[in-house]
Structure 1
Amino acid sequence: MKIALLQLEVLEKNKEANVAHGLQLAAEAAKKHDLLVLPEVWTTGYSLGHLEQEAETPASPVLAQLAEIARNEQCAILAGSVPMRHADGKIYNTSAAINKNGEIVNLYDKVHLFGLFHEEDFFAPGNNFQAFTLDGLCCGSTICYDLRFPELFRHLALQGAQLIFCPAEWPEARGDIWRLLAQARAAENHTFVVAVNCAGSFKGAPFYGHSMVVAPSGKILAEAGMQEEVVSCEIDLADVARVRSRLNALADVRKELIQ
């Protein structure tokens, strides 16, 4: 499987430019890959003051255009995350998974909201902890701050996830932790972790970039720098079974500890 990591430079308060640029890069990358992944809130950036006007819906043009790209190029898309208003009227930080037929097969709402930045003032917390199937592959979705909560990754791995996504807007100030946690989540669960950060800055603080694909062994297979770029990485899904055949910690989990 050939994966494209779209490490976009996300602009503050410029949704129109972000959407146009993201769709352009997605259309180009889809031609040469089986799966592409965008970063967290790439449409609005972390400028959250206008979510009432800028939030998407599952039927929004942005997702419809990504679905069209997926269908035309036969490339699955993990649409990073976008602010999305659900039927209950609340706005969530939502990651949509789109299969090669252009169908939305999963919506994941960010479970852990970042209290330091008062995300709870803008988003409702999600409650969907389930793994899902994307073109025959069992996957799991997480978003940014979720990376600090190993129980979510363990839960997804025990449900059979072989690849777990983590789109993010992670700052350079905590960059060393980004790499450490991505490798740990992959190694402890024997899964691929595809962590896609953004480039650029917010209120003068640069994002870390360093989008990466981590193997089930914990080895980094591909990694970006801090600037905008599209990273291409080919993975062998059989590596999950190979790693677990040598040492499978999942088989020894005391499940009563994570209930």
Structure 2
Amino acid sequence: MKIAMLQMQVIAGDIEGNTNKGLTLVNEAAAKADVIILPEIWTTGYALKNVAQTAETIDGPLITRLTGIARNNNVNIIAGSVPLRLNSRIYNSAVIIDRQGNRITSYEKVHLFSMYGEERFFSQGSKLGLLSLDKVAVGVGICYDLRFPELFRSLALQGAQAVFVPAEWPAARGHHWRTLVQARAIENHMYICAVNCVGEHKGSPFYGHSLLVDPEGVIVAEGGDHETIIYGELDPARVAEARKGMLSFADRRPDIYAD
């Protein structure tokens, strides 16, 4: 499974510019990848004060354009995350589209980043993002979710072989980024594909360094601090090998763990 990580520059509030750039990158990657992943809230950035007016809808023009690209190019798309209106609420949502242009599901961010006041703009998700792409069991998390190992362990216990994580991760905590991505991969014997943006928000730069990490914690592919498309290969057989070689799932003691 060939992965394309779209590490794009996101400019807060420039919805038209961000959207056009993101779609251009999606079209560029579509001929070379099986799965394309965009960053977190790549259309709006963290300019959220008008999110009630600018939120996308599941059948709106952006998602419709993405489903068309997926169908016309026979490619799966994890549409990063966008502010999405669902049942009169607005969520930080990742919409997943298959090769036929079907919207398989969406994942609504479970852990809202209180440090940036996300709870003022978004409702909290209440379900795991677990699905199948090309017969591979995959999960979805969004940015801050990386700090909650319980989420990734729950996905792994339900069969996920890889988890895709769109993000807007700052350079100020860049040293956490790679460590957390590798830790989630190692402890769950799965691939983690974490796609960050570049640029800045209110003078604070984003970290970039989107990366694909294998089930042993080895970095398969990693970007730098500039806008680019990073390609990497994901081999589900490596997950089975890692889980056979290290029996930590079988050795768990859920009977003594706290809730």
* Distance in 2 of aligned mates of 1:151 and 1:159: 12
Give SS of 2:146's match: helix
- 1:220-259 to structure 2, matched below 5 A, reads 220-256=219-255, 257=257
- What amino acid is aligned across from residue 55 of structure 1 in structure 2? A
- What amino acid is aligned across from residue 74 of structure 1 in structure 2? N
Contact 2:106 2:129 in 1 (8 A): no
* Distance in 2 of aligned mates of 1:58 and 1:253: 39
- What amino acid is aligned across from residue 226 of structure 2 in structure 1? Q
Return the TM-score normalized by structure 1. 0.97
Post-superposition shift, 1:253?
A: 2.2
Q: Which residue of 2 is the match for residue 44 of structure 1?
A: 44
Give SS of 2:104's match: strand
- 1:205-216 to structure 2, matched below 5 A, reads 205-216=204-215
Give SS of 1:251's match: coil
Contact 1:97 1:134 in 2 (8 A): no
* Distance in 2 of aligned mates of 1:181 and 1:172: 14
Q: Which residue of 1 is the match for residue 132 of structure 2?
A: 133
* Distance in 2 of aligned mates of 1:72 and 1:137: 22
Per-residue displacement from partner, 1:184-243 (whole Å, max 9, x unpaired)?
000000010000000100001000000000000011111000111100112222100111
- What amino acid is aligned across from residue 6 of structure 2 in structure 1? L
- 1:24-39 to structure 2, matched below 5 A, reads 24-39=24-39
Q: Which residue of 1 is the match for residue 197 of structure 2?
A: 198
Unpaired runs of at least 5, structure 1: none
Q: After the TM superposition, which of the residue ranges 65-74 and 148-157 deviates more from structure 2? A: 65-74
Q: Which residue of 2 is the match for residue 113 of structure 1?
A: 112
Post-superposition shift, 1:135?
A: 2.5
Give SS of 1:252's match: coil
* Distance in 1 of aligned mates of 2:8 and 2:247: 35
Q: Which residue of 2 is the match for residue 76 of structure 1?
A: 76
- 1:111-190 to structure 2, matched below 5 A, reads 111-190=110-189
Contact 2:185 2:214 in 1 (8 A): yes
Contact 2:169 2:207 in 1 (8 A): yes
Return the TM-score normalized by structure 2. 0.97
Contact 1:92 1:126 in 2 (8 A): yes
* Distance in 2 of aligned mates of 1:13 and 1:77: 23
Contact 1:151 1:258 in 2 (8 A): no
Contact 1:105 1:134 in 2 (8 A): no
* Distance in 1 of aligned mates of 2:129 and 2:154: 8
Q: When the two structures are aligned, how many residues end up with a matched partner?
A: 258
Q: 1:201 to 1:192 in 2, by over 3 A?
A: same
* Distance in 2 of aligned mates of 1:223 and 1:246: 26
Per-residue displacement from partner, 1:43-100 (whole Å, max 9, x unpaired)?
101111110111011111111111111111111011100000111x111000011111
* Distance in 2 of aligned mates of 1:196 and 1:148: 15
Give SS of 2:64's match: helix
Cα RMSD between the aligned structures? Answer: 1.1
Contact 2:198 2:205 in 1 (8 A): yes
Post-superposition shift, 1:130?
A: 4.6
Unpaired runs of at least 5, structure 2: none
Percent identical among aligned pairs is: 50
Post-superposition shift, 1:162?
A: 0.4
* Distance in 2 of aligned mates of 1:98 and 1:255: 35
Contact 2:136 2:236 in 1 (8 A): no
